Structure 1
Amino acid sequence: MLSIFKTIPTHMDYKGQKLAEQIFQGIILVSAVIGFLYGFIIEQFGWTVYIVLAGFAVSCLLTLPPWPMYRKTPLSWQPALPESSGDSREKPPQENLKKKKHK
């Protein structure tokens, strides 16, 4: 049962995050304008709130799950370096480093 959940992708790339943010803001803005205008025309503030909440729900449905459109450009990671002896990762001796004097 748990192996099914491990196969579900849970990431977005950077361009996908930018697209999701733009879609989210666009839907919220459009629903706010429509809700304000409709509520103003019928003189009911409650309908404005309902329309904005519906826009929020739609935007969450479209932007929170990592849909395939948000994973089109994956990052290309550098290949892993092979393990070697610990000599290459030691700090250089302090006498080789030049100290700068601030005036």
Structure 2
Amino acid sequence: MGLNDWFNTLHMDYDGQARAEKLSRIIILLFGFVGFIWGYIIQQFSETVRILGAGFILAAILTIPPWPIYRRKPLSWQKVRPQRSGDSDGEGKTKKKKQ
């Protein structure tokens, strides 16, 4: 897979979106928990914020770009059905009026 192919497929499938969301939540929660504990131990709230920010940046790097791991199950779209010649949009159909 070349670099040109990677840039031409800038999408995620639905399963990949769910996987990316779950991964980002796990990373942010883990870094938040560790940051809270570390900040409590050294009594510095700024360290908690820094660790949480690092977790956010890591989660963004791992989940925002459409990595190939998020494109494993693409949707197979149905073929377009040709319109039959006898069919038309709404001809011959009558609507009932509400009373």
Task: Establish whether TM, by shorter chain, passes 0.5.
Answer: yes
Give the corresponding residue for 2:94: 97
Task: Using structure 2 for the length normalisation, give the TM-score.
Answer: 0.82
> Structure 2 stretches of 5 or more lacking a match?
none
RMSD: 2.3
Give the corresponding residue for 1:43: 43
Instruction: For residue 100 of structure 1, report the CA deviation from its aligned partner.
Output: 6.9
Aligned partner of residue 8 in structure 2, secondary structure: coil
Task: Using structure 1 for the length normalisation, give the TM-score.
Answer: 0.79
- Taking every aligned residue pair, what percent have the same amino acid on both sides? 45
> CA, structure 1 residues 6+77, in 2 after alignment: closer, same or farther (shift >3 Å)?
same
- What stretches of structure 1 move > 6 A for 4+ residues in a row? none
> CA, structure 1 residues 6+55, in 2 after alignment: closer, same or farther (shift >3 Å)?
closer
Instruction: For residue 91 of structure 1, report the CA deviation from its aligned partner.
Output: 1.0
Q: Matches of residues 30-69 of structure 1 in structure 2 within 5 Å?
A: 30-69=30-69
Give the corresponding residue for 1:81: 81
Instruction: For residue 46 of structure 1, report the CA deviation from its aligned partner.
Output: 0.5
> CA, structure 1 residues 88+6, in 2 after alignment: closer, same or farther (shift >3 Å)?
farther
> Structure 1 stretches of 5 or more lacking a match?
none
